[in-house]
Amino acid sequence: MSGRALSFGARAEAYERFRPGYPVELFDRVMAYAGRRSIPSALEIGAGTGKATRLFAQQGVTVTATEPDGAMLAELRKHVPAHVRTVQAAFEDVRPGESYGLVYAAAALHWTNPEGRWSRMAALLEPGGVFASFGGPVQLADPAVAEAVRAARAPFVESDEIPSPDGTPPGHAMQWPGTELRRSEWFTDVQQSLIERRLTMSARDYVGHLSTVSAYLVLPASAQEQVFSRIMEVLPERVEMTADITVHLARRVKVTRPQAGGSRASAGGGRPRGS
């Protein structure tokens, strides 16, 4: 796991304060795809401070939240219902045992190791179970303000976004991880959808949000102070943000359970099919 992936713990309280949560519409979309009235149990990968944990737990799902960073997990425990089970572990260290009806990742899947990612994910799901990944950048809606911020940060940070892990161009109809899921033999019925969202916040809160972004977290403290000061100088008093949530959903093929190492066998003797 990269240094950027484990950089958030130092700003766990700020992450909780400044990162937006998730709307009930997201839960409804996952449930509609699952085609069930309820999902008894779910496993969350990279739960952070529990923004998505709360959404699912408050709707009656029994959630096991995993998070590799101890400081982030400690912050999560302050805010989630008591029945949420928490485990300090990276995705790669979660061992198959219990099967879940839903495994999901909220703006965290790109930090996982691509090698064996989907066989490992399938090993955690019951046959026919649902995988969900959702998230998206919080971006300035006004192009002029966005350009001013880009120029202000340029001496320190070229880009503060995470590029597509598999190199899929931004304009492609199917974005990552849907692209990988479509190629995986373990998943089928891959769907991508968008939940449009606009947010308004103060300039100070926007900079607070930036202070939780990994591209800035890995800078030396002196550089962080300088870049945030420069950005504050070019911001209006309040800023409007585009915070659309891209949702990817897929269903685990109904085959005998794979092993974490990637071995596989189909229920009917045939090869597991992709979408």
Domain ranges of the chain: 9-138+163-198+242-252
Backbone angles phi, psi at 78, to 5 degrees: -75, -20
Q: Domain 9-138+163-198+242-252 - what CATH class?
A: alpha beta
Burial status of residue 137 (CB atoms within 10 A of its CB: 0-12, 13-18, 19 or more)? middle
Taking the C-alpha atoms of residue 102 and residue 80, their distance in angstroms, rounded to an integer, is 18
Sheet holding 125-135, edge to edge: 85-87, 62-66, 41-45, 100-106, 125-135, 245-252, 187-195
Tens of each residue's pLDDT in the chain, 275 residues: 444 444 555 589 999 999 999 999 999 999 999 998 789 899 999 999 999 999 999 999 999 999 999 999 999 999 999 999 999 999 999 988 889 999 999 999 999 999 999 999 999 999 999 999 999 999 999 999 999 999 999 999 999 999 999 999 988 999 999 999 999 999 999 999 999 999 999 999 999 999 999 899 999 999 999 999 999 999 999 999 999 999 999 999 986 544 444 444 333 322 222 32
Is the full-model pTM beyond 0.85? Answer: yes
Taking the C-alpha atoms of residue 123 and residue 256, their distance in angstroms, rounded to an integer, is 9
3-state secondary structure of 55: helix
Token representation of residue 247: 């949702």
Token representation of residue 175: 């974005």
